[in-house]
Structure 1
Amino acid sequence: MTEPARTLRLVLADDHAVVVMGLEAVLSLEADLEIVATADDGRAAVDAYRRERPDLILLDLRMPDMDGVEAARHIRREFPDARILFLTSYETEDEIQQAMASGAAGYALKRSKGAELVQAIRTVAAGGTWMPERLARRAKEAADAPVLSDRQREVLSLVSKGLSNKEIAEVLGFTESGTKQHLRQIFTKLGVTGRAEAISEAMQRGILKLDP
């Protein structure tokens, strides 16, 4: 006689009530998944994990009081075997790297289909790792790609603010031809051919963040 699958106890942490309700609706269809607690900020997520000791916690990346990365660090320090899956709408390399470095074993996107999310939960809870193939491929490409120097980051930041080559040279204290040389190196490293494309690529990789 086949033994029934063990029920996985889950904690959901997200500061958007509509997201939590949607997750509850999707996960309630799975007989082996049970939501034992929810939290709407990072500190409450840590408390819920401490109280419930679930098989897995799903964390949003950005939450009030304490963000998801910091919450994951707190949980892993206290419970080294904790299984953590980030569920977020953010997908830059910088955010992915921070999330995984915090001790999480998985990174999924909120736009994932229900079946994919369920698979991610079961995989991470069972001791595996999870990341959408597209994000995993992009993260590997970013890790293998040449890193921009501090000076090149400064140049790119000024480009994103609309400064001309001459204006950038005046701000940073070198010649206009020096600006052009830096830009050529930036374009080569990012695999792009122009300013707008460089800004877009750098933002996707988490290298550049525009001021609000």
Structure 2
Amino acid sequence: MGSTPIKVMVVDDHLFLREGLRAIIDAQSDLKLVSEAESGEEALEMYATDRPDVVLMDLQMPGMGGVATIEAMKKHWPTVRIIVLTTYAGDSQALRALRAGASGYLLKNSLRRELLDAIRSVHEGGKHLSAEVAAGIAFHVIDDTLTERETSVLKLAADGNSNKQIAGKLGVVEVTVKGYMKAIFAKLRASDRTHAVTIAARRGIIEL
């Protein structure tokens, strides 16, 4: 490793987590925490000034969420290296973050085991996924993904709307909604709408 420490930024709205990460990073001679942000908007402002080498990014934040922040950072600074930190192992959520430009995806319950290796690996240009997340992506990679309209239908169903109510909200006939639901069940391998909502929430396709 070189003599210049790897500069790290933490983006998370929870003070307790930021303090924990600071303690882990400060104990390493080759890492240096240069900035902490509570939101995506604040992270963009701080990145422009501090130019960290690696950004640790939460996904669920008030205001600009993690994926939108990743997209904005990659647009303005294409070489930025970002590791997502989340409690959520859903494969769809992970794929959105990775497609937006993240280089790593870690579950918060694995940070003590994986964080330092992930930072160093991503800084060197590598990728790092928690094993549970990688397994979920691999398991579902051959699945048909839900279309934007199917996802909208499922979100409305999750909110308790009947097929008739969904049809009214989307401006289509009820039989069309039934067709969407049938396709959703097949793609998610779900037995009914409650099962479909549960699977979609677990995989990060929809948020409850």
Secondary structure at the aligned position of 2:125 is classed as: coil
Aligned CA distance change for structure 1 residues 81 and 114 (closer, same or farther; 3 Å): same
In the alignment, which residue of structure 1 is the partner of 2:170?
none
Shift of 1:36: 1.2
Secondary structure at the aligned position of 2:8 is classed as: strand
Map 1:16-165 onto structure 2 (within 5 A).
16-148=14-146, 156-157=154-155, 160=158
Amino acid in the other structure paired with 2:72 = H
Secondary structure at the aligned position of 2:109 is classed as: coil
Amino acid in the other structure paired with 2:44 = V
In the alignment, which residue of structure 1 is the partner of 2:7?
9
What CA deviation, in whole Å up to 9, does each residue of 1:57-97 have, x standing for no partner?
11111333432223222322222211111112233334223
CA contact (8 A) 2:93 2:203 kept: no
Amino acid in the other structure paired with 1:168 = N
TM-score (norm 1): 0.78
Identity of aligned residues (%): 32
What CA deviation, in whole Å up to 9, does each residue of 1:90-140 have, x standing for no partner?
333342233222222111121214131111111111100111122122123
TM-score (norm 2): 0.79
Larger Rg: 1
- The number of residue pairs the alignment matches comes to 202
Amino acid in the other structure paired with 1:70 = A
Amino acid in the other structure paired with 2:77 = F
CA contact (8 A) 2:105 2:129 kept: yes
Secondary structure at the aligned position of 2:139 is classed as: helix
Q: Which moves more between the two structures, 29-38 or 150-159?
A: 150-159
Q: Unmatched 5+ residue regions in structure 2? A: 168-172
In the alignment, which residue of structure 1 is the partner of 2:194?
196
- The alignment's C-alpha RMSD in Å is 3.0
In the alignment, which residue of structure 2 is the partner of 1:168?
163
